Amino acid sequence: MRPRQSRPRLLQAMLDAFSLPDLRRRILITVGILVIFRFVAHVPIPGVDQNALQALFERNALLGMLDMFSGGAMRRLSVAAMGVYPYITASIIMMLLVPVIPRLQALSREGEGGRNKINLITHWLVVPLAAVQGYGQLVYIQREGVLASTDPLSMATMVISMVAGTIFLVWLGELITEYGIGNGISIIIFGGIVAQLPEMIGQGFLARENFAGLTVYILLVVLTIAVIVIFTEAHRRIPVQYAKSVFRSGRMYRHSGTTHIPLRVNAAGMIPLIFAMSLVLFPGIVASYFANPADPNAADWIMRLFSPDAPLPMGLFYWALYFGMAVAFTFFYTMVIYQQQDLPGVLQRQGGFIPGIRPGKNTANYLNGVINRITWGGALFLASVAIMPFVARQITNVQVIQLSSLGLLIMVGVVLDTMKQLEAQLVMRRYEGFIR
């Protein structure tokens, strides 16, 4: 045992993971599927002028930011240009429709079979959403002269190619979930973001003349990652007692057990930022279809107003709106989650109660009050992380690095979730894990 204890804990845990055949197979399957994803991201759709496409991305910062989430696939306009984001959009739509539509609500209560049906509906919804998104992207770049051919047959071929690429990536993600390690869809997004890091680091070297600013920028990124980890894991424990009756030797005995409900400070995860970013960018994206550089009009002004790279003071409007929407959507989405969970009803059905709080309405009011208070912390955290890139650029004057707060949240969240799954697998086999 001495050699095991002399090694660093993380290194020893990795060696233990690879020493287990089934766990090693899961890790290798995950890595192999990510390699396939990166190959697919380099397969271009037919009829694209790559030189014109590169020139478009160089002069459009908004496209460059969206390209980061596709792992460079959008910059190449590959079949994987949309990534798995149509699937995420479909999942969010279904999540919001389940409590509203009685039939879907009934399906969600049917256990595994009902969830499978909802998942099937989500997959079918991905196809039209991906088609609309792909067509919108093609129409936009068509105005820039990127497409070699714009006849209906060629356009249909390109849209079908992009939809097929999205469906293929969703399938790869589900293979990871079933046979690999971690949440497959999140792993695919994570792989696309991480694939852009080498280029981003290379851009950082371009800021050598601003070495002090670059150093401060890196420190801010590290500090932001630490805060994300803290708030991702932070939760409020609500004590709960369960009274149990046991009939023994002709007598009834009552036993009480104590446990707790962990209410997460950031229960909404990254979804509020996806909502907020989509709505804030939407007016600018729509205006870009009507903008005319040769003859500036209202569309050009709207496009600049809703752009993350707009100069001050106009840029303050975008980031202030982003901050406010992030707070609002955090409260909205958190309330949706806890209403679906119905914690007071679950406690009452299971015979549990919070000490000092009457079951029923009083328990519901107490939990709602606690959730509202801790959600303020989660909302301000997400909103602060959302505007971190803007604050970092203003403090350090480093403009060459396009860092996304949503990308940081995704990377940290996926790493933590994957490490927890590996931890559970190792502990189940009586090995030491990553986490103390």
Q: How far apart are CA 115 and CA 400, in angstroms?
A: 45
Across the strands, what pairs with 262? Answer: 237
pLDDT of residue 172: 92
Supply the mean pLDDT for the chain: 78
Mean pLDDT score, 27-46: 88
Residue at 202 is within a domain? no
Domain tally, the chain: 2
Write out pLDDT tens, residues 253-269: 444 567 788 888 888 88
Q: Does any domain span residue 200?
A: no
Same structural domain, 328 and 271: yes
What are 339-366's pLDDT values in tens digits? 777 788 877 777 777 888 888 788 888 8
Pair 262, 346 in one domain: yes
**Residue 139 shares a structural domain with residue 217:** no
Does 280 lie in the same domain as 132? no
Statement: residue 202 has pLDDT above 70: no
Question: Would residue 342 count as lying in a domain?
Answer: yes
- Cβ atoms of 78 and 40 closer than 8 Å: yes
CATH code of the domain covering residue 390: 1.10.3370.10
**Cα angle 305, 310, 316; round to 5:** 75
- Amino acid identity of residue 245, one-letter, is S
Q: Which two tokens stand for residue 239?
A: 């004590």
Residue 238, beta-bridge partner list: 261
Q: What pLDDT is recorded for position 229? A: 87
Higher pLDDT, 338 or 252: 338
Q: What is the dihedral of CA 35, 39, 42, 46, to 10 degrees?
A: -150
pLDDT at 32 over 90: yes
Cα(242)–Cα(255) distance, integer angstroms: 8
Segment 290-299, tens digit of pLDDT: 666 556 666 6
Write b or e for each residue in 187-198: b if 16 or more Cβ atoms lie within 10 A of its Cβ, otherwise e. bbbbbbbbbbee
DSSP 311: P
415/318 same-domain check: no
CB atoms within 10 A of CB 33: 22
Neighbours of 249 (CB within 10 A): 5
In a domain, 309, yes or no: yes
215 with 299, same domain: the answer is yes
**Residue 168 pLDDT more than 90?**
yes
Across the range 88-99, mean pLDDT stands at 82
Give the whole-angstrom CA distance, residue 199 versus residue 206: 11
Q: Is 265 exposed, middle or buried (0-12, 13-18, 19+ CB in 10 A)?
A: buried
Q: Which helix (H) or strand (E) holds 369?
A: helix 361-386
User: 349 and 299 in one domain?
Assistant: yes
Instruction: Out of 207-211, 397-401, 423-427, give the one with best mean pLDDT.
Output: 423-427
**pLDDT score at 292:** 62
Q: Are residues 418 and 275 in the same domain?
A: no
Does 189 score more than 80 pLDDT?
yes
Contact 228, 409 (CB under 8 A): yes
Distances (CA, A) of 260 to 49, 205, 240, 329: 59, 49, 5, 27
In this prediction, residue 429 carries a pLDDT of 65
Residue 46 clears pLDDT 60, i.e. is over it = yes
Q: Does the pLDDT value for residue 208 go beyond 80? A: no
263 with 374: CB under 8 angstroms? yes
Q: Is residue 139 part of a domain?
A: yes
Backbone phi, then psi, for 355, in 5-degree steps?
A: -55, 130
Q: What is the pLDDT of residue 289?
A: 66
Q: In terms of Cα–Cα distance, which of 403, 428, 418, 430 is closest to 190?
A: 418
Same-domain pairing of 266 and 120: no
User: Residue 430's pLDDT band (boundaries 50, 70, 90)?
Assistant: low
Does residue 201 lie in a domain region? no
Residues 211 and 191 reside in one and the same domain: no
Domain that holds residue 62: 1-195+407-436
Which is higher by pLDDT, 432 or 123? 123
Residue 393: pLDDT band (50, 70, 90) is confident
CB 125 within 8 A of CB 93: yes
Residue 4 sits in the same domain as residue 137: yes
421 plus 382 within the same structural domain: no
Residue 188 Cα distances to 41, 134, 218, 414, angstroms:
11, 19, 25, 10
Instruction: Report if residue 153 sits inside a domain.
Output: yes
Pairing type for strands 235-248 and 251-264 reads antiparallel
Share of the chain above pLDDT 90, in %: 8
313 prior amide bond cis, ω within 30: yes
CA dihedral (305, 306, 308, 311) in degrees, to 10, reads: 0
Q: Collapsing DSSP states into helix, strand and coil, what is residue 410?
A: helix
Structure confidence at residue 435 as a pLDDT band (50, 70, 90): low
